[in-house]
Amino acid sequence: MLLQDHVAFLTGAGSGIGRAGALALARNGATVIVSDLDPDRAGAVAAEITASGGNAEALGLDVTDDAALEAAIAESHDRHGRLDILHSHAGAQIPGRLDEVSVADMDASWRLNVRSHFVAARGAMAVMKPQGRGSIIVTSSNSGVQYDRGMIAYCTTKHAVIAMVRQIAVDYARYGVRCNALCPGFVDTVFNAGFEAQMGGRRALENYVAGTIPMGRWGTAEEIAESIVYLASDRSSFMTGHALVLDGAESL
């Protein structure tokens, strides 16, 4: 299999795109450490993987706890003797314009959408660089390559993630560690609550998707998961520092 004997550590993997990515990595042979703020959701995903014959472990993890995040990554490496893939996915969507987002909300958005990825990448790099191999995938958004009206905290942090990914990529390419950003557009998950509220409800959001996205539909978590496998595997062996946009051409 494509990822046979690989070990992958995932954050925010208890639902939505994170869950789909965990399942897809496991189907391709990886041992997957499924972490999520909600340990029950992490456990359910890990159980789903093992019930299908895959290998998975579950972990309740608050990625804004720097020490806990670093320790979880280090311990996973030590337990398995390797760490090949990090998918740092956990994030938050706080809607609002400059005059609607508090400083505390901006700080919370930055801590989860940027700082936690920085801490996770540092933890993974500490073991991947000595290995001479590894793939770090950080979830940004197509909001990281465009500007959404009334989404200052979200767009700012998602643009910052792409800048960070590119800096990591250029600094560590010579050591065999790749770093890329995953940039999904609209996928029908609970993560869209901020956009739904901003637009005035579910029907307005569905009308936006149908009328504004050139492909005229939502993406699926499973479609995004296939790109996670691609970025994790040697199929993307010459790709680093890239922002992989999957949004039905919305950002064009």
Give pLDDT tens digits along the chain (252 positions): 899 999 999 999 999 999 999 999 999 999 999 999 999 999 999 999 999 999 999 999 999 999 999 999 999 999 999 999 999 999 999 999 999 999 999 999 999 999 999 999 999 999 999 999 999 999 999 999 999 889 999 999 999 999 999 999 999 999 999 999 999 998 987 766 666 777 778 888 888 888 889 999 989 999 999 999 999 999 999 999 999 999 999 999
pLDDT at 212: 86
Q: Which of 147, 154, 175, 208 is catalytic?
A: 154
pLDDT at 59: 97
pLDDT at 205: 80
Dihedral of CA atoms 235, 36, 220, 251 in degrees, nearest 10, equals -80
Nearest Cα to Cα of residue 17 among 75, 81, 93: 93
Task: Please give the class, per CATH, of domain 7-246.
Answer: alpha beta
Is 175 tagged catalytic?
A: no
pLDDT at 1: 87
pLDDT at 203: 84
Measured over the CA atoms of residue 56, residue 239, residue 126 and residue 224, the dihedral's sign is negative
Nearest Cα to Cα of residue 251 among 214, 208, 201, 206: 214
Q: Quick one: tokens of 218? A: 């939502």
